[in-house]
């Protein structure tokens, strides 16, 4: 899931700015008092829309989709702890068999939709089948090739075809027959497409405007660019749901808000804005205002870590096909300057990164294959280039990045650092659609470098490594922007994915982390921190080690 330039993947869920304040990582009720059930919460978003169709959504478990839709599994998130998998609609987190090619789940008793009808196993199957239909694309798709190799299945609406790899022998049992062993299937079952949709429903493209819901809330009103209003689902049973506090009586998301207006409203902290949470705010100038206001500063909640910001090196283009040349970039980059360009200083931006697997992922190993100063070592970079036959450095490289979220400024910091080592780069800042088309769809064919960031979709190293470095992810909308094509790495990825034991799998992912960095496909920069501003009556803003986003499921009003 892309972040920074990758925020499109959770549009309307979370967009944050890196800041570290005295408030700390979690501050449930800075104004004193405790969170109690009742009242109306307000979420302020600069996004024009909120996606409530699970097939089209890329929302993380902890963000807004979980208000209205449950999934087979969920996450337990807590400060200072690794995130773990827990049941949601299912009685457990899945039972693997056939060496991990078959997974079986059983639904809990007394599960009902917002219209009062029972939730059945066939509805989970139907919801997944919908996700294969072209009109309902755009959501997370980890499940698709595992259930339909080559994506031969095209959905249930053309001739009413069923997906035979999903079996529902009775109303409570659902069995997945995967194309290959896959140890993370229970994590994949927490992604949006595993939310049930009543069989036969949801054929209309705007189903997400008024879906039939399984979570504690239902959509009362949705108006693109203006407002989404959620009210309680009277048929949701708290006894079947251990992950959602469902504190407020209503949740109103105000859409299409200007980021400067959001920031000012929350700083001023008056009226309904006392019960509001800023899903997005942007500029360093606004952050300076927050830091200068003691009340606002006390209401800024910050993550321990976050997405990996990194520089991709096109391993299939020009001199960058030589690993020795690519290794020079590990020393040429000034990560300290990148921190300053990101948020003013190192503490605000996030810690310097040296691994691909991000903090908060169980089994992660901290290492540094290219130890150097935060400012880099341009002389070492020049030495490596000379040893690779480039005593005069490199010229004519093109660096692509987004023209938003201060990425042009961060790209300029990269450009200046590389120049010290004799590497001359031209920056090409692109709007989001052009970036997606030119970089991800075409596979970086016209660029030497890209600057971007990545937050995994699930708390597994699988989601750190596979989407960015498997050869199948080059072009066609994939995120392998380094065009890294290594048959041995592909084999190790498949082997790690097939490993059922989490500890054994973690060791294999660490091996891949070291292998890919040994090939210098990318330069890790920082693990970006995320911060969120909220009103004085808004409580339970909690951020765990993963993900670096507030857990919406726990929100409530301080009474």
Average pLDDT rounded to a whole number, residues 224-250: 97
For the CA atoms of 152, 158, 161, 164, what is the dihedral angle to 10 degrees? 30
Same domain, 433 and 324: yes
Own/partner long-range contacts of 486-492 (Cβ < 8 Å, ≥24 apart): 486/515, 486/516, 486/519, 488/515, 489/515, 489/516, 489/519
Q: How far is CA 361 from CA 25, 47, 183, 198, in A?
A: 18, 29, 15, 34
The dihedral region occupied by 433, where left means phi > 0, alpha psi between -120 and 50, and beta the remainder, is: alpha
Beta carbons within 10 angstroms of residue 340's beta carbon: 16
**DSSP symbol at 189:** T
Q: Is residue 118 part of a domain?
A: yes
Give burial (CB, 10 Å; 0-12/13-18/19+) of 110. Answer: exposed
CB 557 within 8 Å of CB 541: no
Confirm if 328 and 346 have CB atoms less than 8 A apart. no
C-alpha count within 13 angstroms, C-beta hemisphere, residue 229: 8
Residue 413 lies inside a defined structural domain of this protein: yes
The sign of the CA dihedral 292, 293, 296, 297 is: positive
508 within domain boundaries? yes
Mean pLDDT, residues 430-438 taken together: 86
Determine the straight-line distance between the first and last CA of the chain, rounded to whole angstroms.
36
- pLDDT tens digit sequence for 484-514: 999 999 999 999 999 999 999 999 999 999 9
In this prediction, residue 495 carries a pLDDT of 97
The tens digit of pLDDT for each residue in 52-93 reads: 999 999 999 999 999 999 999 999 998 888 889 999 999 999
Among the candidates 174, 193, 214, a domain finishes at: 214
Q: What are phi and psi of 173, to 5 degrees?
A: -115, 135
Specify the CATH number for the domain of residue 458.
3.10.105.10
Per-residue confidence band for 302, with pLDDT thresholds at 50, 70 and 90: confident
> Tell me, what's the pLDDT at 32?
52
3-class DSSP state of 34:
coil
Task: Give residue 137's pLDDT.
Answer: 85
Residue 337 has pLDDT above 80, yes or no: yes
pLDDT of 9 = 30
Q: Is residue 255 domain-resident?
A: no
- Supply 134's token pair: 């072209």
**CA angle, 515 then 518 then 522, to 5°:** 100
**Residue bearing tokens 């920069």:** 525
For residue 43, give the 3-state DSSP assignment. Answer: strand
Q: Which domain holds residue 486?
A: 308-528
Q: Which of 214, 246, 269 is the C-terminal boundary of a domain?
A: 214
Per the rule left: phi > 0, alpha: psi between -120 and 50, beta: everything else, 39 is left
> Would 268 be classed as within a structural domain?
no
* 8 A C-beta contact, residue 273 and residue 296: no
Rg, C-alpha atoms of the chain: 23
For 452, the token pair is 């971007």
68 close to 304: Cβ distance less than 8 angstroms: no
CATH of the domain at 137: 3.40.190.10
* 509 is a domain residue: yes
> Which residues in 175-203 are b (16+ Cβ under 10 Å) and which e?
bbebeebbbbbbbbbbbbbbbbbbbebbe
Tokens, residue 252: 């109103």
Residue 507 and residue 381 in one domain: yes
pLDDT for res 14: 31
Residue 8 pLDDT greater than 70, yes or no: no
User: In whole angstroms, what is the distance from residue 378 CA to residue 399 CA?
Assistant: 19
Cα 416 to Cα 156, 350, 420: the distances in Å are 53, 21, 7
Q: Are residues 185 and 320 in the same domain?
A: no
As a whole number, the mean pLDDT across the chain is 91
DSSP 98-135: GGGTEEEEEBPSS-B-TTSPBP-HHHHHHHHHHTTSGG
Secondary structure letter of residue 466 according to DSSP? H
pLDDT tops 60 at residue 282: no
Neighbours of 375 (CB within 10 A): 13
Measured between alpha carbons, how far is 160 from 131 in angstroms, rounded to an integer? 14
Residue with token string 């890790």: 524
Mind giving me the DSSP string for 245-306?
----SEEEEE-S--HHHHHHHHHHT-GGGGGEEES----HHHHHHHHH-HHHHHTEEE-S--
Specify the 3-state DSSP secondary structure of 6.
coil
Q: Is the pLDDT of residue 22 over 60?
A: no
Establish if 554 belongs to a structural domain. Answer: no
263-286 mean pLDDT: 85
Helices 487-497 and 461-469 meet at what angle, rounded to 10? Answer: 150
Lowest mean pLDDT across 188-197, 205-214, 280-289, 336-345: 280-289
d(CA 327, CA 46): 40
Q: What is the pLDDT of residue 3?
A: 38
Total domains, the chain = 2
pTM listed for this prediction: 0.88
Cα distance between residue 159 and residue 125, in whole Å: 17
Span 14-30, average pLDDT? 40
For the chain, the helix, strand and coil percentages under 3-state DSSP, each to the nearest 5: 30, 20, 50
Q: Which of 8-17, 32-41, 253-262, 406-415 has the lowest average pLDDT?
A: 8-17
Tell whether 117 is covered by a domain.
yes
Q: What are phi and psi of 311, to 5 degrees?
A: -105, 120
Only one residue has tokens 């829309």, namely 49
How many angstroms separate the CA atoms of 122 and 198, rounded?
8
* pLDDT exceeds 90 at position 559: no
Q: Which of 214, 244, 278 is the last residue of a domain?
A: 214
Write down the pLDDT at residue 6.
32
- Over pLDDT 90: what percentage of the chain? 77
Position 5 confidence tier, pLDDT thresholds 50, 70, 90: very low
Cα–Cα distances (Å) from 223 to 41, 207, 226, in that order, read 18, 13, 6
């Amino acid at each position: 899931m892309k972040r920074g330039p990758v925020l499109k993947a959770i549009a309307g869920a979370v967009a944050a700015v890196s800041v570290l304040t005295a408030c700390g990582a979690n501050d449930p009720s800075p104004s004193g008092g405790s969170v109690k059930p009742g009242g109306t919460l307000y979420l302020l978003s600069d996004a024009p829309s909120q996606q409530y169709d699970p097939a089209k959504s890329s929302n993380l478990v902890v963000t807004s989709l979980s208000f209205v839709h449950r999934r087979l599994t969920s996450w337990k998130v807590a400060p200072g702890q690794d995130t773990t998998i827990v049941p949601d609609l299912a009685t457990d987190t899945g039972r693997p068999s056939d060496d991990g090619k078959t997974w079986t789940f059983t639904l809990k008793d007394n599960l009902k939709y917002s219209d009062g009808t029972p939730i059945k196993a066939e509805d989970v199957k139907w919801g997944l089948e919908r996700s294969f239909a072209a009109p309902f694309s755009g959501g997370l798709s980890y499940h698709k090739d595992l259930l339909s190799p080559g994506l031969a299945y095209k959905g249930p609406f053309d001739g009413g075809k069923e997906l035979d790899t999903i079996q529902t022998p009775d109303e409570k049992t659902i069995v997945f027959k995967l194309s290959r062993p896959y140890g993370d299937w229970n994590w994949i079952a927490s992604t949006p497409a595993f939310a049930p949709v009543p069989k036969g429903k949801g054929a209309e493209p705007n189903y997400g405007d008024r879906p039939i819901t399984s979570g504690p809330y239902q959509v009362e009103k949705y108006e693109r660019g203006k407002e989404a209003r959620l009210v309680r689902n009277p048929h949701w049973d708290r006894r079947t749901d251990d992950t959602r506090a469902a504190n407020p009586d209503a949740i109103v998301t105000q859409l299409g808000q200007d980021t400067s207006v959001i920031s000012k409203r929350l700083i001023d902290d008056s009226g309904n804005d006392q019960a509001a949470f800023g899903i997005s705010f942007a500029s360093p100038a606004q952050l300076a205002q927050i830091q200068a206001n003691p009340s606002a500063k006390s209401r800024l909640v910050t993550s321990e870590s976050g997405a990996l910001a990194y520089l991709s090196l096109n391993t299939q283009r020009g001199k960058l096909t030589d690993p020795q040349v690519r290794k020079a970039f590990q020393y040429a980059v000034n990560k300290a300057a990148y921190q300053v360009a990101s948020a003013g200083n190192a503490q605000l931006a996030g810690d310097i990164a040296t691994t691909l697997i991000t903090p908060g992922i169980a089994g992660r190993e901290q290492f540094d294959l290219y130890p150097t100063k935060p400012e880099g070592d341009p002389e070492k970079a020049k030495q490596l280039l000379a040893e690779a036959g480039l005593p005069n450095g490199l010229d004519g490289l093109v660096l692509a990045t987004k023209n938003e979220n201060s990425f042009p400024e961060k790209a300029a910091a990269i450009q200046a650092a590389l120049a010290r080592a004799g590497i001359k780069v031209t920056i090409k800042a692109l709007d989001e659609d052009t970036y997606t088309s030119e970089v991800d769809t075409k596979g970086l064919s016209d660029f030497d470098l890209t600057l971007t960031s990545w937050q995994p979709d699930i708390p597994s190293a699988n989601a750190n490594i596979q989407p960015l470095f498997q050869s199948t992810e080059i072009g066609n909308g994939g995120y392998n922007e380094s065009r890294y094509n290594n048959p041995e790495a592909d084999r190790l990825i498949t082997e790690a994915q097939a490993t059922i034991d989490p500890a054994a799998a973690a060791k294999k992912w660490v091996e891949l982390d070291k292998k890919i960095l040994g090939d210098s496909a990318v330069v890790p920069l920082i693990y970006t921190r995320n911060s969120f501003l909220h009103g004085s009556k808004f409580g339970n803003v909690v951020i765990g080690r993963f993900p670096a986003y507030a857990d919406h499921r726990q929100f409530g009003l301080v009474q």
